Amino acid sequence: MGKVLVTGGTGYIGSHTVVELMQTGLEPVIVDNLSNSLMEVLDGICEITGKQPLFYEVDLKDVTKLKRIFQENQFESVIHFAAYKAVGESVEKPLLYYENNLVSLINLLKLMSEFRVNSLVFSSSCTVYGQPEELPVTENAPVVKAMSPYGNTKQIAEEIITDAVQAKMIEQAVLLRYFNPIGAHPSAKIGELPLNVPNNLVPFITQTAIGLREELKIFGDDYNTPDGSCIRDYINVVDLAKAHIAAVKRMKESAIPVEVFNVGTGNGVSVFEVVNAFQRVSGQDLNYSIVGRRSGDVEKVYADTNKANELLGWKAEKSLDETILSAWEWEKYIRLKDQNY
């Protein structure tokens, strides 16, 4: 059974990917500094899979401790999630983001090279496209100047990884450009768990509905879209997690050095459509107000997923309603389970 190093494995997407790895018969080893996640996530993973994954509480910027993990384990591949990801915070604290997101990646690549771990799946983002000229956006669309230091770290990270492969430091990398992950595991044992005010739409909706937030603010209803609100491609987090398993498998079967895949549904959904879906599946009326546009928001972006569908053999399967309901079940579960959450 092959060991896979999962950095940021107690985070939102990381934890769901760990579950999928375990259910596929692979052995994930989690490294996380718990800066934006909780140790209790491991309990949720264990409840779903019946097994406790190996876990190291280590910051990837600490190369000495990270090296020890490579010495103690023989990895066949790495899935790299660990990064700061709040767009607004990155504008206020750019050096924090450049240091954390890039130094951690450089340390990881150095050790992968030293210990001959040759395949990497990287958690990238559709932010690299900005506002695309053509929709749905394909992987061939130009990478535009980033609108935030966070977005820029994703672009620079893609370049660093590509250069490392070209220099034969590692053999292969798959860069997965995520669109908008939402929802939770159908068991409601793991899900999105913002430790502060949520940056994403769906946890803000569920926290408002359960009474943690006073109201949801919708930023702008005057965009050039059918209902005036921004359009995104919202993908179920379990579907997204499965794309990582497909990427690991792809590298075993293909000799292509670097591949880029969009991971989305291929459908654009507006903010109002998400709000309406939540009200429909939960039976809750949502308190929301419309305020001015938010600086840096892209009007509309959604994925062309043909490349991932064909070459990875992967496709998003879960519906918007099913996904929104899973997020609501998770919200109710964590509020009932433990006030410390």
Q: Identify whether residues 253 and 133 lie together within a single domain.
A: yes
- For the chain, the 3-state helix, strand and coil shares in percent, each to the nearest 5, are 40, 20, 40
Q: Is 65 helix (H, G, I), strand (E, B) or coil?
A: helix
Q: Which long-range contacts (CB under 8 A, 24 or more apart) does 184-187 make?
A: 184/237, 184/326, 184/327, 184/329, 184/330, 185/16, 185/19, 185/44, 185/48, 185/237, 185/238, 185/326, 185/330, 186/238, 186/326, 187/47, 187/48
Q: Which residues are catalytic?
A: 150
pLDDT tens, position by position, 34-62: 999 999 999 999 999 999 999 999 999 99
Residue 314 domain-assigned (yes or no): no
Strand 216-219 versus strand 54-57 pairing type? unpaired
Question: Is there a contact between 163 and 173 (Cβ–Cβ < 8 Å)?
Answer: no
pLDDT at 304: 98
pLDDT at 1: 64
The structural domain count of the chain equals 2
Residue 158 domain-assigned (yes or no): yes
Sequence-separated (6 or more) residues with CB below 8 Å from residue 168: none
Write the DSSP string, 1-17: --EEEEETTTSHHHHHH
The CATH number assigned to the domain holding 224 equals: 3.90.25.10
Grade residue 341 by pLDDT with cuts at 50, 70 and 90.
very low
d(CA 72, CA 77): 15
Q: Identify whether residues 173 and 124 lie together within a single domain.
A: yes
Grade residue 236 by pLDDT with cuts at 50, 70 and 90.
very high
Residue 101 domain-assigned (yes or no): yes
Q: Identify whether residues 148 and 112 lie together within a single domain.
A: yes
pLDDT at 297: 87
d(CA 34, CA 166): 33
Residue 339 domain-assigned (yes or no): no
pLDDT at 338: 63
- Under DSSP, the state recorded for 93 is -
Residue 194 domain-assigned (yes or no): no
Asked if the model's pLDDT at residue 333 lies above 80, the reply is yes
Alpha-helical regions (H) of 120-270: 149-166, 201-210, 237-253
Q: Identify whether residues 154 and 250 lie together within a single domain.
A: yes
Q: Identify whether residues 77 and 118 lie together within a single domain.
A: yes
Asked if the model's pLDDT at residue 272 lies above 80, the reply is yes
The CATH number assigned to the domain holding 151 equals: 3.40.50.720
Residue 193 domain-assigned (yes or no): no
Q: Identify whether residues 122 and 213 lie together within a single domain.
A: no
Alpha-helical regions (H) of 167-236: 201-210
- Write out the residue range of the structural domain in which residue 51 sits: 3-182+234-264
Q: For residue 42, which amino acid is it?
A: L
